[in-house]
């Protein structure tokens, strides 16, 4: 292999390794940085989503808290006045908030005023006379109905049993002639440290669903909200609302579903990368718990983003670096070719001169234009050749006179 070719191969290989290594290092570093930033970004979106939902639910919860706090001290009123006072507050709250499905309060038997029997079958009671008034917004009108046998229902039992505020699992109820997914915010009513009843507000989850449907991280991501037991509160697919995530989400998260369900039902934070077989793509999943008031049953806000979307900047940078690397490598190759030619051209000239000298001709000389090592070698070589030619001339001149003398002697 000729020197020029060797130079081209070696230097090009070194450049290729250097540029390739720099490109790979830059891509890996950028990839790690973008993954870290995206993880923080998606987590923040999940947290912000949870905060929006908390704020949305805290407002009505504050309203019913006020009712419960007054009811906690309602024994300061005469027994015969207590029902009228409580009914007045419940009706006023329902009328001032037409977006509430209903406002209600229920008490243990005779716990409100000890007068259940006297109020049997009156508005807001049943045949037992226990207080269980339910004010409902229906078609622009507020109506009063009896809650019936509410003691075993979750919307009553959660706060009654725990003595804490409650965020009830979503359930369907007829609202304006349409089955609508709703939840209840409940607050215990106490007397002397003992729970004697529960007050609550019923809300549709439509606004939460609409709010969450607008959240699209990176443009292609989706968001969802799940209750403490895994009931779907908000989802990009409205047909799944009110259904159990264990039954619906396997098509998206595949084998990762148990981990997702565990995070939601246990109130844990989750951030994970997984492969979805059905969608044939990698996804970044984040789930953050959200607590409302003093409830002990956290819901979860979840964000799902295709990993390819997150990595788009990396892929774009990779393409730019590859193109740039090819251009730089091509330019360097041309420069190396020119430099190698400038180095090997004098060497080729030397090779020709040496071939002529090898045949006994010492007349050629090397061109020595450059001031580098090759130019110095060429000038030294030319000097050496000049000395050799001078020596040859001297030898010839010395031999020629002796031949003349010998010829003269022979003639005489």
What's the predicted TM-score (pTM) here?
0.72
CB burial readout 190-223, b (16+ within 10 A) else e:
bbeeebbbbbbbbbbbbebbebbeebebbeebbb
In 121-264, DSSP assigns E strands to 132-138, 141-146, 166-167, 171-175, 178-191, 194-204, 222-226, 232-234
Tens digit of each residue's pLDDT (9 = 90 or more) over 173-207: 888 788 999 999 999 999 988 999 999 999 999 99
More confident site: 299 or 358: 299
pLDDT at 408: 47
More confident site: 280 or 262: 262
Binned at pLDDT 50, 70 and 90, residue 219 comes out as confident
Concatenating the DSSP letter of every residue in 52-110 gives HHHHHHHHHHHHHHHHHHHHHTGGGS-HHHHHHHHHHHHHHHHHT-TTEEEEEEEE-TT
pLDDT at 409: 47
Tens digit of each residue's pLDDT (9 = 90 or more) over 351-380: 677 777 777 666 777 666 666 666 677 777
Tens digit of each residue's pLDDT (9 = 90 or more) over 128-165: 999 999 999 988 889 999 998 999 999 999 999 999 99
Binned at pLDDT 50, 70 and 90, residue 15 comes out as low
**Count of other CB atoms within 10 angstroms of residue 244:** 15
Binned at pLDDT 50, 70 and 90, residue 33 comes out as low
Averaged pLDDT, 304-323: 69
For residue 318, give the nearest of 30, 87, 90 by alpha carbon: 30
**Count of other CB atoms within 10 angstroms of residue 363:** 8
pLDDT at 100: 95
Averaged pLDDT, 322-334: 75
Distances in Å between the alpha carbon of 409 and those of 253, 303, 398?
120, 121, 18
Averaged pLDDT, 296-315: 80
Weakest-pLDDT range from 14-28, 225-239, 254-268, 319-333: 14-28
More confident site: 209 or 334: 209
307 alpha carbon, distance to own chain's centre: 8
Averaged pLDDT, 377-393: 75
Instruction: Answer positive or negative: Cα dihedral of 152, 232, 282, 26.
Output: negative
């Amino acid at each position: 292999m000729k020197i020029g070719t060797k130079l081209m191969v070696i230097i090009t290989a070194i450049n290729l390794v250097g540029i390739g290594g720099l490109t790979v290092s830059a891509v890996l570093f950028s990839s790690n940085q973008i993954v870290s930033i995206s993880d923080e970004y998606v987590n923040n979106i999940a947290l912000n989503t949870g905060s929006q939902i908390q704020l949305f639910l805290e407002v009505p919860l504050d309203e019913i808290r006020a009712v419960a706090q007054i009811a906690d001290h309602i024994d300061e009123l005469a027994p015969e006045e207590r029902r009228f006072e409580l009914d007045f507050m419940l009706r006023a709250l329902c009328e001032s908030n037409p977006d509430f499905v209903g406002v209600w309060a229920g008490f243990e038997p005779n716990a409100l005023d000890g007068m259940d029997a006297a109020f049997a079958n009156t508005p807001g009671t049943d045949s037992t006379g226990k207080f269980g008034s339910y004010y409902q917004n229906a078609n622009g009108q507020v109506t009063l109905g009896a809650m019936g046998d509410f003691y075993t229902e979750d919307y009553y039992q959660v706060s009654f049993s725990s003595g804490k505020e409650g965020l009830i699992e979503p359930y369907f109820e007829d609202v304006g002639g349409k089955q609508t997914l709703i939840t209840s915010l409940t607050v215990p009513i106490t007397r002397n440290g003992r729970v004697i009843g529960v007050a609550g507000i019923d809300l549709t989850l439509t606004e939460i669903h609409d709010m969450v449907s607008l959240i699209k991280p990176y443009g292609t991501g989706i968001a969802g909200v799940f209750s403490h037991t895994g009931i779907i509160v908000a989802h990009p697919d409205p047909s799944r609302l009110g259904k159990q995530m264990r039954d619906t989400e396997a098509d998206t998260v595949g084998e990762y579903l148990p981990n997702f369900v565990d995070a939601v039902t246990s109130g844990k934070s989750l951030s994970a990368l997984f492969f979805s077989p059905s969608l044939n793509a990698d996804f970044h999943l984040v789930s953050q718990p959200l607590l409302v008031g003093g409830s002990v049953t956290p819901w979860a806000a979840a964000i799902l983003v295709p990993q390819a979307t997150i990595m788009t900047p990396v892929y774009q940078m990779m393409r730019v670096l590859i193109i740039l690397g090819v251009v730089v490598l091509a330019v360097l190759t041309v420069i190396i070719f020119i430099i190698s030619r400038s180095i090997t051209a004098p060497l080729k000239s030397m090779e020709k001169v040496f071939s002529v000298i090898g045949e006994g001709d010492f007349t050629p000389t090397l061109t020595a234009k450059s001031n580098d090592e090759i130019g110095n070698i060429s000038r030294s070589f030319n000097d050496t050749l000049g000395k050799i030619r001078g020596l040859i001339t001297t030898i010839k001149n010395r031999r020629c006179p002796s031949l003349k003398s010998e010829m003269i002697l022979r003639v005489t």
